[in-house]
A and B are shown apart, each in its own frame.
Chain A
């Protein structure tokens, strides 16, 4: 039983297209995150939601728009894809957003923009 799942696992698309990545967690957690991991393995937070409310919004282009329809889901929509968007995107969840709340990561979505 996968705790944090993402779809799709791989996404190959052309520059300028719009795409979405979906994330679901079955842990009953209140907080969900999106991270971006570049080709050098550097992992950086993009967004965080707690009880469907945005609590972290790092310096991310407006082309990226997260949406949380409910506590168990956090989707990421990307408009007008650029070459630099190629990366692995990880969803994560935690019970709360305190310093001691363990974050559980999904398997990642490998996005390639051609």
Chain B
């Protein structure tokens, strides 16, 4: 069983829809959680970063963390065709023990059609 599970999709939604992307994890040592966006044939880029349980909002994006359930989510409101990409969740342990090691989910392929 992988440490981080993410539904690979693909997910296809109409423009303007609310998108929900999710990851579950098994290692309770994970304390920092990230969402990366990867456009086709490009490298991943950091979209959002959270630490504590709860919600964090940035424009149309909301990241949600529930450490008790080992579950994280990314919500995209008013989705746009430009949001079409692969979304990867990533997580890491706290402090120096991580040495920067990110553990990624498999990535969810999202297509937003006009």
Listed in ascending order, the chain A residues whose CB lies under 8 Å from chain B are 4, 31, 33, 40-45, 48, 50, 55-56, 90, 92, 94, 96-108
Query: Among B31, B44, B94, which residue has its beta carbon within 8 angstroms of that of A105?
Result: B44
Known: A96-B100, A97-B96. 10 other contacts (CB 8 A): A4-B43, A56-B99, A90-B44, A97-B98, A99-B31, A99-B94, A99-B95, A103-B46, A103-B102, A105-B45
Question: Contact between A48 and B104 (Cβ–Cβ < 8 Å)?
Answer: no
Cα A103 to Cα B92 in complex, Å, equals 12
| Total CB contacts across the A-B interface at under 8 A | 74
Question: Contact between A42 and B107 (Cβ–Cβ < 8 Å)?
Answer: yes
Question: Contact between A90 and B100 (Cβ–Cβ < 8 Å)?
Answer: no
Q: Distance in Å from the Cβ of A44 to the closest Cβ of chain B?
A: 7
Query: Among B32, B45, B107, which residue has its beta carbon within 8 angstroms of that of A100?
Result: B32
**Interface membership of B101, Cβ < 8 A:** yes
Question: Contact between B46 and A102 (Cβ–Cβ < 8 Å)?
Answer: yes
Query: Among A43, A55, A56, which residue has its beta carbon within 8 angstroms of that of B44?
Result: A43
Interface residues of B in 21-55 (CB under 8 A from A): 31-32, 38, 41-46, 49
Cα A108 to Cα B96 in complex, Å, equals 27
Chain B residues closer than 8 Å to A108, beta-carbon distance = 41-43
The residue in chain B whose Cβ has the minimal distance to the Cβ of A4 is B43
Q: Distance in Å from the Cβ of A43 to the closest Cβ of chain B?
A: 4
Q: Distance in Å from the Cβ of B88 to the closest Cβ of chain A?
A: 6
Chain A residues closer than 8 Å to B98, beta-carbon distance = 97-99
**Interface membership of B64, Cβ < 8 A:** no
Cα A4 to Cα B42 in complex, Å, equals 12
Q: Looking at A40, A43, A105, which has the most chain B CB atoms within 10 Å of its CB?
A: A43
Question: Contact between B100 and A56 (Cβ–Cβ < 8 Å)?
Answer: yes
Q: Distance in Å from the Cβ of A81 to the closest Cβ of chain B?
A: 22
Given contacts A97-B99, A99-B32, A99-B92, contact A42 B44 (CB under 8 A): no
The residue in chain A whose Cβ has the minimal distance to the Cβ of B44 is A105
Enumerate 27 A-B pairs (CB-CB under 8 Å) in ascending A order.
A4-B43, A41-B8, A41-B38, A41-B86, A41-B106, A41-B107, A42-B106, A43-B44, A45-B102, A48-B101, A50-B99, A50-B100, A56-B99, A90-B43, A94-B100, A96-B100, A97-B96, A97-B98, A97-B99, A98-B98, A99-B92, A99-B100, A100-B32, A104-B45, A104-B46, A105-B45, A106-B43
